[in-house]
Amino acid sequence: MKTIAVYSSKGGVGKTATAVNLSYAALEQNKRILLCDMDSQGAASYYYRIKPKKKFNRTKLLKGDFLQFIRETDYPGLDLLPAHFSFRNLDLALTSEIDQPDRTALRKLLYVLEDEYDYVFLDCPPNLTLLSENIIVAADCVVTPVVPTTLSVLALEQLLKLFRKVACDKKKLLAFFSMVEKRKSMHAGVMKKYLKYPIFLRQSVPFMADIEKMGLYRKPVAAGPTRSVAPQVYRALWQEIMERRLKG
Amino acid sequence: MKQPRTESFTTEDGAQIPLLLENLSKTYSVLEETSRNRKTRLFDTFDWRLYRKNLICSISSSRFVIRDFAGNEIMQCRAPRKSRIFWSDIDDQKTSELLKKYLSMRALLPLISIEGVEHSFKIVNQDRKTVLRLQIEKYQALEGDTSMEMPVIISIQELRGYEKPFDQVQKILVRDLPQLGQYGSYIEQAFGIARREPLDYGAKFQVNLEKEATIGESVSVLCQALVESMAVNQPGVERDIDSEFLHDYRIGIRRTRSLLSLLRKKLPTRISYFEDEFKWLGSITGPLRDIDVYLLKEDSYKSLVPEMFEPGLQSFFDDLASGRQQVLRTLRTELNSERYERLLTDWQFFIEDHDSELFGCKAHCKSTIDKIILKRFNSFVKRGSGITEESPDDALHTLRIRGKKFRYLLEFFRSYYAPQDIDNFLKHMKKLQDNLGDFNDLSVQIEMLQAKLDGLHGRNKKTLSLAAALGSLITRLQTEHQKERARFNRIFEKFNTESNRQLILEMISND
Ligand SMILES: Nc1ncnc2c1ncn2[C@@H]1O[C@H](COP(=O)(O)OP(=O)(O)OP(=O)(O)O)[C@@H](O)[C@H]1O
Ligand SMILES: [Mg+2]
């Protein structure tokens, strides 16, 4: 089992769109997939039309009693652990559990899934907290979308600092340009400047109407009603991530 | 993690289905997702080798699948594009190894088809999220122009995390419909229309005789069963489906000849005509069987010689394979000859017609057989005990033939005695017969290979490498041959015990 966290401290950069479509691209290769919606907003759960069961909450999650709350999506082989409203202060809970910050709690929780799934994807909320540290420690690979603007690149530098703080191997961090609009000169400029760094994946995700419309159809783009190149883009992105970090 | 549940139900009454769906859609949104035509072809060997292991083999949508009777998939892989499938035709290594174990030299043949439609429905909630899957399968069993409706199958599949909808729909279905039994018994129903039915053929000889019957009556029954076993195998021989058809066909000949010779003194003199003709039948079927025997040994021979001789040996097998077609053609001609036709007609009259001289043999069969068994047993044991380490090979060969005849005798008249006693005795005898059989096979092989070697001419590369390979092979076989010879006396001693003698005595005195 490999864990892939889709993470950024910035909001609205395409994390959820990425987690939803990458998990589907991985499913297309006949793997057993779990998508964990770590964001109390529940956007990923919404895209897959899944609501949490009534009895689910943060405490159960942290106790490791969450297998019974995993639900199958409409796509056999792809399961989802829905978000719950109580996830909004998961990070506080992580601290109070044992009175001092525990960075390995999430890693330990995910261990029970080892034989059940080939890939576990984490869709993360946009913040820089103890939960973020847990996510970085738990993941075999942290994928971070970067909108090609100067501010977003700053957020990436912040993230690298966080990696140093938790003493994690920087190699497991992979960035890609998200919501790219070729016509915007700033986008082109930033990409030209940064794409040469190995932290950036070759594959970027353009700004596409089909991705924007996902909220309407509530399906990953590859299962949606329109024929577009978006699924190809996510397949290629997934391929590159696997080659860079997950092979062997 | 718990696996999601599935459950299947069945109904003979297709009219129930629309009603059922209507009922469900009062509470749930039921959407038809797909409807797919399905065509499944069932396969087994002529003698049901998979069925005997509680396995069912099918091809559907180009997938080759083996299931157990409960319906669990044991193996699945790409289907070969053939209607006659040997284990070696399967690409997937695991599947072909499994098949090799069960089928050996036999081919899988298509039996019947099951065709129909699979309708898939999904049951969705207010978010249009699928919370339960439902399938309705309507099939027909087909063979040639005949067809038969199969019971409709309704299955539900739970989605992980959506237990309630499964529980609720299951409750409704349980109330109205019987559960689907085993996959195996569902499939068996399909054979209702087929020419073949499971286990209708096996190489084991089993005939029930009347205890009061005369010799004429018993021989008639036995020979009819034997001629029948030859008749069912003959088309497979002529169409050259697999080598076992000829093998079983020849066993029919050998058993018939054996029966006639065992009872020669009690039967009309006319049987000498039939003995000659069945001998002829043995001789015309022999050459093809000989080639098959060597072809079947290809792997084992190759494993016996050092690797560098393998190419040399290959040319030996290539020659055999290319000569085989001609031999088969000759056999086909003989099997369609007047002489063969006449033999069958005469034989049929002789064993079936009440005006036949055969029915003039009015001696009580069982008491005659009791005596023959005892006599044959005693002479077998005496002959075997006389064999020392120094005796010539021929002494063992003769003993083997006597042993085989004795085994046939017990098998023919098994129903006169306690069958388990016979089986028990034959089990004790098997080790000895295997030893004698292997010894004889090796003698024949060595002789044939030596003759082949002696007959080689020329000094070209191919001939030389074949000669080297044959030489190496013969040496190996001679070692095996000596080993079997050396084992004989000990194996015979183990067979020649007082308890085995008692077994025979009790068997024939027990009425
Ligand atoms: N490549 C894209 N092209 C067009 N629209 C996109 C693309 N990626 C994301 N969007 C849209 O942008 C919005 C924000 O995307 P998304 O929810 O994936 O970001 P996020 O980083 O998960 O946001 P949050 O931080 O709020 O969780 C959504 O409406 C989404 O449909
Ligand atoms: Mg999000």
B33, B34, B129, best to mutate vs chain A, most A CBs in 10 Å? B129
- Residue A23 · residue A108 · CB < 8 Å: no
pTM over 0.90: no
For B178-242, the DSSP string reads: PBP--HHHHHHHHGGG-SS-TTS--SS------TT-BHHHHHHHHHHHHHHHHHHHHHHHHTT--
pLDDT of residue A96: 62
- Is B183 in the A-facing interface, judged by CB distances under 8 Å? no
Which one of 3.10.560.10, 3.10.20.30, 3.20.100.30, 1.10.3720.10 gives the CATH number of domain B6-193?
3.20.100.30
CATH (domain of A194)? 3.40.50.300
**Nearby residues of B318 by Cβ (< 8 Å), 6 or more positions away:** none
- Residue A143 · residue A25 · CB < 8 Å: no
Residue corresponding to tokens 């005659």: B368
Residue B156 CA to residue B135 CA, distance in Å, equals: 6
pLDDT digits (tens, 9 = 90+) for A86-99: 898 887 777 765 66
Superfamily of domain B369-511: CHAD domain (1.40.20.10)
**Worst-scoring range by mean pLDDT, A73-82, B98-107, B174-183, B383-392?**
B174-183
Q: How many CB atoms lie within 10 A of CB B243?
A: 21
B13 pLDDT band, cuts 50/70/90, is: confident
Cβ–Cβ below 8 Å for B162 and A50: no
Residue B30 CA to residue B128 CA, distance in Å, equals: 10
3-state secondary structure B431-500: HHHHHHHHHHHHHHHHHHHHHHHHCCCCCCHHHHHHHHHHHHHHHHHHHHHHHHHHHHHHHHHHHCCHHH
Whether the per-residue pLDDT at B511 is higher than 80: the answer is no
* Percent of chain B residues past pLDDT 90, beyond the cut: 84
**Nearby residues of A18 by Cβ (< 8 Å), 6 or more positions away:** A6, A143, A145, A178, A205, A234, A237
- Residue B207 · residue B415 · CB < 8 Å: yes
Which residues in chain A have Cβ-Cβ distances shorter than 8 Å to B130? 74
- Residue B191 · residue B114 · CB < 8 Å: no
B288 pLDDT band, cuts 50/70/90, is: very high
Q: How far is CA B476 from the centre of its chain?
A: 31
Within 13 Å and on the Cβ side, how many CA atoms surround A179?
Answer: 16
pLDDT digits (tens, 9 = 90+) for B439-469: 999 999 999 999 999 999 888 888 999 999 9
* Percent of chain A residues past pLDDT 70, beyond the cut: 98
Task: Identify which of A61, A4, A55 has the alpha carbon closest to the alpha carbon of residue A34.
Answer: A4
**Nearby residues of B504 by Cβ (< 8 Å), 6 or more positions away:** B373, B374, B377, B425
B225 pLDDT band, cuts 50/70/90, is: very high
Task: Identify which of B37, B203, B34 has the alpha carbon closest to the alpha carbon of residue B115.
Answer: B37
A17: CA distance to ligand 1 center in Å? 6
Measured in residues, chain B has a length of: 511
pLDDT digits (tens, 9 = 90+) for B176-198: 888 888 888 889 889 888 888 99
Q: Please name the amino acid found at residue B223.
A: C
Min distance B1 CA to chain A CA atoms (Å): 7
| CA angle B197–B198–B201, rounded 5-degree value | 90
A21: CA distance to ligand 2 center in Å? 13
pLDDT digits (tens, 9 = 90+) for B14-59: 778 888 888 888 888 999 999 999 999 999 999 999 999 999 999 9
- Residue B238 · residue B335 · CB < 8 Å: yes
- Is A217 in the B-facing interface, judged by CB distances under 8 Å? no
- Residue B193 · residue B112 · CB < 8 Å: yes
Question: Quick one: CA torsion of B408, B409, B410, B415, rounded to 10 degrees?
Answer: 110
Average pLDDT over residues B371-384: 96
Token pair of A166 as six digits: 């938790």
Cβ–Cβ below 8 Å for A71 and B130: no
pLDDT of residue B419: 85
Q: Residues lining ligand 1, judged by CB closer than 6 Å?
A: A 11-17, 39, 43, 126, 179, 205, 207-208, 211-212, 214-215
Cβ–Cβ below 8 Å for B161 and A49: no
pLDDT of residue A225: 84
User: Boundaries of CATH 1.40.20.10 in chain B?
Assistant: 203-363, 369-511
pLDDT of residue A18: 98
pLDDT of residue A112: 94
Mutation pick for ligand 1 pocket among A131, A181, A212 (CB with most ligand atoms within 8 Å): A212
In 3-state terms, what secondary structure has residue B139? strand
pLDDT digits (tens, 9 = 90+) for B315-373: 999 999 999 999 999 999 999 999 999 999 999 999 999 899 999 999 999 999 999 99
Average pLDDT over residues B276-285: 98
Provide φ and ψ at B469, rounded to 5°. Answer: -65, -45
- Residue B267 · residue B245 · CB < 8 Å: no
Average pLDDT over residues B310-319: 91
pLDDT of residue A248: 63
pLDDT of residue A229: 94
- Residue A131 · residue A91 · CB < 8 Å: yes
Task: Identify which of A114, A134, A112 has the alpha carbon closest to the alpha carbon of residue A122.
Answer: A134
Domain tally, chain A: 1
Give residue B16's region: left, alpha or beta (phi > 0; psi -120 to 50). Answer: alpha
Architecture of domain B203-363: Alpha solenoid (1.40)
Q: How many CB atoms lie within 10 A of CB A10?
A: 22
B62 pLDDT band, cuts 50/70/90, is: very high
**Nearby residues of B286 by Cβ (< 8 Å), 6 or more positions away:** B250
Q: pLDDT averaged over chain A? A: 93
pLDDT digits (tens, 9 = 90+) for A158-167: 999 999 999 9
Element (H, E) at B402: helix B393-412
Which residues in chain A have Cβ-Cβ distances shorter than 8 Å to B164? none
Eight-class DSSP state of B364: B
- Residue B145 · residue B152 · CB < 8 Å: no
Q: Which of residues 136-195 of A touch B (CB under 8 A)?
A: none
Whether the per-residue pLDDT at B260 is higher than 70: the answer is yes
Cβ–Cβ below 8 Å for B1 and A51: no
pLDDT digits (tens, 9 = 90+) for B85-108: 999 999 999 999 999 999 999 999
Distances (CA, A) of B431 to A124, B271, B387, B489: 72, 34, 17, 12
**Nearby residues of B121 by Cβ (< 8 Å), 6 or more positions away:** B21, B30, B31, B32, B33, B133, B134, B135, B136
pLDDT digits (tens, 9 = 90+) for A212-229: 999 999 999 999 887 889
Token pair of B268 as six digits: 């009309």
pLDDT of residue B192: 85
- Is B129 in the A-facing interface, judged by CB distances under 8 Å? yes
Whether the per-residue pLDDT at A68 is higher than 70: the answer is yes
Picking from A53, A69, A74, the nearest residue to B129 by CB comes out as A74
Q: pLDDT averaged over chain B? A: 94
pLDDT digits (tens, 9 = 90+) for B403-445: 999 999 999 999 999 888 899 899 999 999 999 999 999 999 9
